[in-house]
């Protein structure tokens, strides 16, 4: 009996130690990526290529999701606001929810499943097919040549995607609220313009999404780089990327929000 409990405790302990190890290794990986980022700035076309594959290719899913999220916000917001007779505030509700929270968070979650998983699978397979080894043997540092451009590609694309998500969302809210339901168009836009602050709302949203972009790409790249070079290893790593980066996005969102909007309201 006692042995059984000890075995369970040992297994739990081993898992905790393993997790702490991985966290430490991922952090070291992140700092190495920053350290070897020089190449990216000397050869910007490497980063531009990654902005294309992580950012531009995620556009469709981001734009379509943004539109629908905005439309739902328009419907739900109108339902709630009309109870208090303040339908004209619909513009504020839609814009603030999107710019502060939904834009960065939902876009980052979509980015993690669309671009993050692709990055993990790509790096994992590059390792499995010895392409990473080949780079090393050709005296080209894989962190500088493969990892860092993808990292910066993610950090730069993410705020742009989140901004486009929010813009589409606001358009969706406008379609449902103004065009479909008939909220006053002037009130919708003017109240939004008056209530949304550039620094407090938009800039903070941009900072959030840049952080999310960094978090997602570091997790995706580390998981790919660390994956055992087998089919099973790569598939597990891809799953882990989506799960860990989604959790990390939500946790970081709480931390950032608690600092950013402390006295805002």
Partner 1 sequence: MAKTTDAVRPHPPVSDNLVEIRDLSFAYADRLVLQGINMTARRGQLVAIMGNSGCGKTTLMRLIGGQLKPTLGKVIVDGQSVGELDFQALYRLRRRMGMLFQFGALFTDMSVFENVAFQLREHTDLPEEMIRDLVLMKLNAVGLRGAQDLMPSELSGGMARRVALARAIALDPMLVMYDEPFAGLDPISLGVAGDLIRRLTDTLGLTSLVVTHDVQESLKIVDYVYFISEGVIVAQGTPQEIRDSDLPYVHQFVHGEEDGPVPFHYPAPAYAEELGFGHA
Closest separation in Å from C-beta 129 to partner 1? 6
Q: Please spell the DSSP secondary structure of 231-255, one letter per residue.
A: HHHHHHHHHHHHHHHHHHHHHHHHH
Closest separation in Å from C-beta 139 to partner 1? 4
Closest separation in Å from C-beta 58 to partner 1? 18
* Identity of the residue, 127 or 208, whose beta carbon is nearer to partner 1 in the bound complex: 127
Q: Dihedral angle at the C-alpha atoms of 181, 182, 183, 185, nearest 10 degrees?
A: 130
* Identity of the residue, 103 or 142, whose beta carbon is nearer to partner 1 in the bound complex: 142
* Identity of the residue, 152 or 212, whose beta carbon is nearer to partner 1 in the bound complex: 152
Q: How far apart are CA 139 and CA 144, in angstroms?
A: 11
* Identity of the residue, 69 or 143, whose beta carbon is nearer to partner 1 in the bound complex: 143
Residues that bind partner 1 (CB under 8 A): 129-131, 133-134, 136-141, 145
Closest separation in Å from C-beta 132 to partner 1? 9
Q: How far apart are CA 3 and CA 155, in angstroms?
A: 49
Q: How far apart are CA 128 and CA 126, in angstroms?
A: 6
Cβ atoms of 172 and 70 within 8 Å: the answer is yes
């Amino acid at each position: 009996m006692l042995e059984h409990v000890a075995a369970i405790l040992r297994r739990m302990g081993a898992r905790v130690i393993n997790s702490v190890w991985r966290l430490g290794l991922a952090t070291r990986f992140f700092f190495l990526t920053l350290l070897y980022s020089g190449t990216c700035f000397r050869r910007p076309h490497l980063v531009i290529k990654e902005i294309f594959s992580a950012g531009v290719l995620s556009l469709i899913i981001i734009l379509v999701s943004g539109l629908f999220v905005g439309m739902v916000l328009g419907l739900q917001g109108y339902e709630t606001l009309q109870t208090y007779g303040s339908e004209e505030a619909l513009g504020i509700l839609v814009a603030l929810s999107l710019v502060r929270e939904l834009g960065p968070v939902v876009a980052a979650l979509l980015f993690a499943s669309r671009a993050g998983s692709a990055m993990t699978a790509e790096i994992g397979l590059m390792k499995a097919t010895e392409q990473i080894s080949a780079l090393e043997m050709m005296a080209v540092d894989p962190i500088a040549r493969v990892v860092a451009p993808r990292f910066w590609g993610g950090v730069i694309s993410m705020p742009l995607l989140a901004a486009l998500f929010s813009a589409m969302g606001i358009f969706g809210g406008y379609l449902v609220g103004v065009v479909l339901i008939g909220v006053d168009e002037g009130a919708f836009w003017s109240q939004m313009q008056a209530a949304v602050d550039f620094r407090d709302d938009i800039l903070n949203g941009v900072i959030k999404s840049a952080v999310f972009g960094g978090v997602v790409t570091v997790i995706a790249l580390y998981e790919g780089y660390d994956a055992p070079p087998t089919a099973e290893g790569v598939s597990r790593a891809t799953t882990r990327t989506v799960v860990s980066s989604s959790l990390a996005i939500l946790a970081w969102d709480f931390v950032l929000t608690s600092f950013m909007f402390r006295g805002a309201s």
